């Protein structure tokens, strides 16, 4: 048993009533059972090529709605809260590990009858997309990442940015449970440009999700990825595109070119003026580039 077990207890205290409120928000949203969690998924449906999209906590599905509408004409978009975030409450035996979360992505695809998909994940979630592409190459046609450096560069980021208590099992989970509302708001001050037009709306939506019973198991995620290194994710063969923002104070010293140490064929594009969420801050540019990349 480790700290992630405590997160499953803390996050699931009001799961039933919170999940009902979350499902009522959009008729396209439903729950899909996996071994890691009952995943909250928005599915645009249809028979177009599948694209799996997941928000980077404390963002939730609702943050992605404008982007989803831009992508829906060309893709069957499936946007889901990752296990332990938003309204996808983690099961007691889920440990936020690389392989088990990569397996969860494939399990979700299996449950929805999807043979192959584009994975568009951001920040640390990008490592789970890379893991799925590495271990199930026939299931992932393209990777489109955002603000995801190499694992070793991310370790340096974690050391510099993440408060020390969050790295300690049990203590970290308790601290996050006590400060989730504050952290969900203050994170945007650190990760978005000072004058960002998105800051207030992003923070309000994140705070609303947490206050409505959504979970934010950041400590468990940090602890599970603490030993991840470049070697763990090498071998991805599919076309890969990384979007990064150059005005993310939290990543001021991060070298996003480091992703090429893991995926040499990765193409890296900078969306000038963006912070931590280039996919959400400049959704039209991101969506246009993604469509062109996949079509090519």
Break the chain into its structural domains and give their ranges: 3-290
Query: Is the per-residue pLDDT at 80 higher than 90?
Result: yes
* Fold of the 3-290 domain: Rossmann fold (3.40.50)
With CA atoms as reference, report the closest residue to 84 among 279, 224, 280, 232.
224
What integer pLDDT is reported at residue 190 of this predicted model? Answer: 92
Q: Residue 36: which of 132, 116, 167 has the closest Cα? A: 132
Residue 58: is the preceding peptide bond cis (ω within 30°)?
yes
Q: What is the pLDDT of residue 1?
A: 47
Q: How confident is the model at residue 15 (pLDDT cuts 50, 70, 90)?
A: low
| Interacting residues of 246 by C-beta distance below 8 A, sequence separation 6+ | 270, 271, 272, 273, 274
- Looking at residue 243, its pLDDT comes to 98
CB neighbours of 112 closer than 8 A, spacing ≥ 6? 32, 41, 43, 78
Joined tokens for residue 79 = 């946007």
Can you tell me the mean pLDDT for 204-229?
A: 93
Segment holding 233, helix H or strand E: helix 230-233
Report the pLDDT value the prediction gives residue 8, as an integer from 0 to 100: 78
Tell me the C-alpha distance between 225 and 275, whole Å: 23
Tell me: the pLDDT tens digits for 150-174?
A: 999 999 999 999 999 999 999 999 9
Burial 75-112 (b: 16+ CB within 10 A, else e): bbbbbbbbbbbbbbbbbeebbbbbebbbbbbbbbbeeb
What pLDDT does 113 receive? 97
Q: Give the dihedral of Cα atoms 169, 174, 176, 182; nearest 10 deg.
A: -160
């Amino acid at each position: 048993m480790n700290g992630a077990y405590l997160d499953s207890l803390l996050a699931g205290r009001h799961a039933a009533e919170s999940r009902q409120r979350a499902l009522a928000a959009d008729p396209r949203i439903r729950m899909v059972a996996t071994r890691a969690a009952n995943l909250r998924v928005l599915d645009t449906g249809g028979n177009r090529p599948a694209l799996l999209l997941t928000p980077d906590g404390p963002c939730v599905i609702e943050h992605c709605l404008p982007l989803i509408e831009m992508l829906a004409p060309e893709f069957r978009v499936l946007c889901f809260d990752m296990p332990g975030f938003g309204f996808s409450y983690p099961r007691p035996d889920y440990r936020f590990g690389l392989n088990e979360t990569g397996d969860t992505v494939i399990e979700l695809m299996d449950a929805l009858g999807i043979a192959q998909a584009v994975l568009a994940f951001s920040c640390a979630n990008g490592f789970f997309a890379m893991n799925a592409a590495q271990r199930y190459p026939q299931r992932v046609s393209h990777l489109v990442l955002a603000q995801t450096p190499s694992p070793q560069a991310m370790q340096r980021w974690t050391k510099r940015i993440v408060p020390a208590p969050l790295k300690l099992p049990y203590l970290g989970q308790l601290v996050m449970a006590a400060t989730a509302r504050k952290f969900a708001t203050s994170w945007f001050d650190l990760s978005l440009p000072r004058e960002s037009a998105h800051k207030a709306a992003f923070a309000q939506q994140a705070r609303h999700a947490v206050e409505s019973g959504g979970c934010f198991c950041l400590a468990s995620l940090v602890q599970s990825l603490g030993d991840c290194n470049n070697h763990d994710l090498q071998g991805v063969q599919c076309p890969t595109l990384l979007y990064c923002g150059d005005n993310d104070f939290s990543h001021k010293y991060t070298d996003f070119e480091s992703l090429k140490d893991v995926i040499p064929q990765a193409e890296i594009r900078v969306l000038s003026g963006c912070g931590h969420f280039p996919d959400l801050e400049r959704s039209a540019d991101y969506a246009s580039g993604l469509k062109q990349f996949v079509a090519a």
